[in-house]
Structure 1
Amino acid sequence: MPEGAGSTERGGRPPLTERGARTREKLIAAAREVFEERGFLDTRIAHIARRAEVAYGSFYTYFPSKEAVFFEVADRLFAEMTSRADGPGAGASPAERIRHANRAYCEAYLRNAKMMAIVEQVATFNEEFQELRREHRATSIARTAHALRRWQRDGLVPDDVDPELTARALAAMIDHSLYLWIVQGDDPPAAERLLDTLDTLTRRALALPAE
């Protein structure tokens, strides 16, 4: 079967046995390692199969293409990046929640910096992957917008703030700032200073107190 044959359907046909499930997980782990080392364009199915110690032809039992295994890797990456981290506590102020969320997201970005760089690469030319990324981004934005509406009901955020558009704008600011710093190497004077600045800009955009 030629390189990249088959559709890019996410995940391919699921395995039916415990052994098959283990093999599929080995392929996913190996794919991430190879993508991080070689990038998406230079990665070949042969590289992934060899890293996973799986026969080349066996790859197609679990994934129809290189794109399909990449989508599985990226899907898990996005789920980790947008997962709800343990909060600072029930009585925490909005400012404390913003500070905690920004640092948790930064830590996740640092853990996944190599894959985040490749995600940006693939998003420039693969429309199906762009849709996957939009789906995960929409989940995160909806959660932030929900929090903003709750703060509006509590009288903490002005009523003229559009929750969804504000959530999108704040996410774009934080994402791009971290991308330039962590992926592009545009180092700020100090990491903590950058995060403090993002906290401050977020609070001021929402007219929230510092504490």
Structure 2
Amino acid sequence: MSSSEDSPVQPLTERGARTREKLLAAAREVFEERGFPDTRIAHIAERAGVAYGSFYTYFPSKQAVFLELADRLFAEMTDRRALPAGRSPAARIRRANRAYYEAYLRNARMMAIVEQVATLDEEFQELRRKHRAQSITRTARALRRWQRDGSIPGDLDPELTARALAAMIDHSLYLGIVQGDDPTGTERLLDTLDLLTHRALGLPSETGGGAVG
């Protein structure tokens, strides 16, 4: 997919904007039902209730639709604006991990398709790397702040630590939610991720835990 070819044509009217959102919602449903390779533009147009040719008024390809859906998905998954400020690192970790779990659960079917497309498309891989880098940068910034105030050891590399913790949490949730491989139950899984994060950062043990935020 080329970025220049796949940039969607922006509708100029309110009606056009509504139609475009209908296509996005329909595309997500179809992707989740059929998977990315087996989805056709005709499926999306039919689900949205628009003519086949109308699809191309808003998107040049099914890849372009998927890229926009993925961009929105990644933004939602890493949105931490609702997290309270001024709490202890351990408490913020617990709250952030549970917020991430809830977002993952809401988007489980789409996350399965994300893993599918990640092996197929270079442009999607770049989009995924961009969002992951933004999330890791925010986490590393929090770790540096905690190092400055003496909450966690100063000899930890903030960026590498952020990457390692993100990989642990992401893969654990993928196995538990998408693959259904979670014999322990949700709360035990989250509490274990919390505890592992606390110990990795040298924080005092508290009930619960989570992703750094």
Answer whether TM exceeds 0.5 for this pair.
yes
Structure-2 separation of matches of 1:169 and 1:103: 18
Structure-1 separation of matches of 2:2 and 2:152: 47
Which of the numbers 110, 135, 139 marks the counterpart of 2:134? 139
- How big is each residue's C-alpha offset from its partner over 1:60-109, in whole Å with a ceiling of 9 and x where there is no partner? 1110001000111111111100111422452x111100000010000000
Q: What root-mean-square deviation, in Å, do the aligned CA atoms of Structure 1 and Structure 2 show?
A: 1.3
- How big is each residue's C-alpha offset from its partner over 1:36-82, in whole Å with a ceiling of 9 and x where there is no partner? 11110110000000010110001011100010001111111111001
**Distance change (3 Å), C-alpha of 1:99 and 1:69:** same
Which of the numbers 26, 40, 45 marks the counterpart of 2:41? 45
Q: 8 Å contact 1:11–1:72 — kept in the other structure? A: no
One-letter identity of the residue aligned with 1:208 = L
Number of aligned residues? 205
Q: Residue 130 in 1 paired to residue 113 in 2?
A: no
Structure-2 separation of matches of 1:20 and 1:101: 37
Q: Residue 22 in 1 paired to residue 38 in 2?
A: no
Instruction: Show the counterpart of 2:187.
Output: 192
Structure-2 separation of matches of 1:11 and 1:19: 20
Instruction: Show the counterpart of 2:93.
Output: 98
One-letter identity of the residue aligned with 2:93 = I
Instruction: Show the counterpart of 1:71.
Output: 67
Q: Residue 202 in 1 paired to residue 167 in 2?
A: no
Q: Residue 160 in 1 paired to residue 160 in 2?
A: no
One-letter identity of the residue aligned with 1:198 = L
- How big is each residue's C-alpha offset from its partner over 1:129-174, in whole Å with a ceiling of 9 and x where there is no partner? 0000111111111110000000000011111100001000000000
**Distance change (3 Å), C-alpha of 1:88 and 1:188:** farther
One-letter identity of the residue aligned with 1:73 = L
Instruction: Show the counterpart of 1:174.
Output: 169
Q: 8 Å contact 1:106–1:178 — kept in the other structure? A: yes
Task: State the TM-score, normalizing by the size of structure 1.
Answer: 0.94
Q: 8 Å contact 2:6–2:64 — kept in the other structure? A: yes
Identity of aligned residues (%): 79
Of the structure 1 ranges 17-26 and 171-180, higher mean CA displacement relative to structure 2 is found in 17-26
Task: State the TM-score, normalizing by the size of structure 2.
Answer: 0.93
Instruction: Show the counterpart of 2:29.
Output: 33
Which of the numbers 50, 68, 72 marks the counterpart of 1:54? 50
Q: 8 Å contact 2:6–2:61 — kept in the other structure? A: no
The alpha-carbon deviation at position 189 of structure 1 amounts to: 1.6
Q: 8 Å contact 1:10–1:72 — kept in the other structure? A: no
Structure-1 separation of matches of 2:200 and 2:146: 13
